[in-house]
A = this chain, B = another copy of it.
Amino acid sequence: MKSRTWQSRLPERKADPAFEAMNASIGVDIRLIRHEIAASKAHAAVLADAGIYTPAEHDSVNRALDSLAEEASSGSMDASGFEDVHSLVEHRLTELCGGAGAKIQTGRSRNEQTATAQRLYMKESASAAAGAIQSLMNAMIEKASENMDAIMPGYTHCRPAQPIRFSFYLAAHVAGLSRDMGRVQDALRRLDECPAGSGAVAGAPFGLDREKAARLLGFAMPSLNALDSVSDRDMQIEIVSCAALLMVRLSRIAEDLILWSSPAFGFVSLGDTYCTSSSLMPQKKNPDALELIRGKAARVAGDLTALLMLCKGLPTGYQKDLQEDKERLFDAVDTVLSCLAVFEGVVREMTVNAGAMKSAIGPECMATDEADMLVQKGMPFRQAYSQVASAIAAGEYGNGTAAVSPEDSVERRRSAGGTAKSRVAAMLEAARTSSPIM
Contact = CB atoms under 8 A, between A and B. Distances in A.
A190 B204 CA distance: 38
| 9 closest Cβ pairs, A-B complex | A203-B418, A302-B306, A295-B321, A8-B277, A203-B413, A291-B320, A283-B364, A298-B309, A102-B380
A67 interface: no
30 contacts: A4-B277, A7-B390, A9-B390, A10-B393, A16-B273, A18-B342, A22-B338, A104-B381, A154-B200, A156-B281, A156-B284, A157-B284, A157-B320, A168-B227, A169-B316, A173-B228, A199-B280, A203-B414, A226-B417, A226-B419, A232-B249, A237-B248, A252-B316, A282-B371, A292-B320, A292-B324, A294-B312, A295-B322, A302-B304, A302-B328
Interface string A220-251: 00111111111110110110010011001101
A372 interface: yes
A302 B328 CA distance: 9
Nearest to A174: B225
Given A210-B417, A301-B305, A315-B158, A274 B19 contact: yes
B282 A415 contact: no
Interface stretch (A29-37, A73-81, A123-131, A159-167): A159-167
Nearest to A369: B205
A197 to B, nearest CB: 6
Interface in A6-34: 6-11, 13-16, 18-19, 21-23
A307 B317 contact: no
B280 A368 contact: yes
Contacts of A317: 154-157, 161
A320 B103 contact: no
Nearest to A295: B321
A419 B312 contact: no
Interface string A194-217: 000111111111111111000000
A179 B240 CA distance: 16
A208 B316 contact: no
A90 B272 CA distance: 23
A232 B176 contact: yes
Interface in A145-189: 154-164, 168-169, 171-176, 179-180, 182-183, 186
Given A234-B245, A302-B309, A305-B305, 13 more contacts: A8-B284, A9-B389, A18-B342, A22-B292, A156-B284, A169-B316, A199-B413, A202-B413, A209-B415, A264-B264, A283-B392, A295-B323, A296-B324
Interface string A263-289: 111000000111111111111111111
Range, interface on chain A: 35 or more
Contacts of A393: 9-11
B345 A18 contact: yes
A311 interface: yes
A121 interface: no
A64 to B, nearest CB: 15
A425 interface: no
A171 B231 CA distance: 13
A263 B169 CA distance: 20
Given A324-B296, A417-B224, A156 B311 contact: no
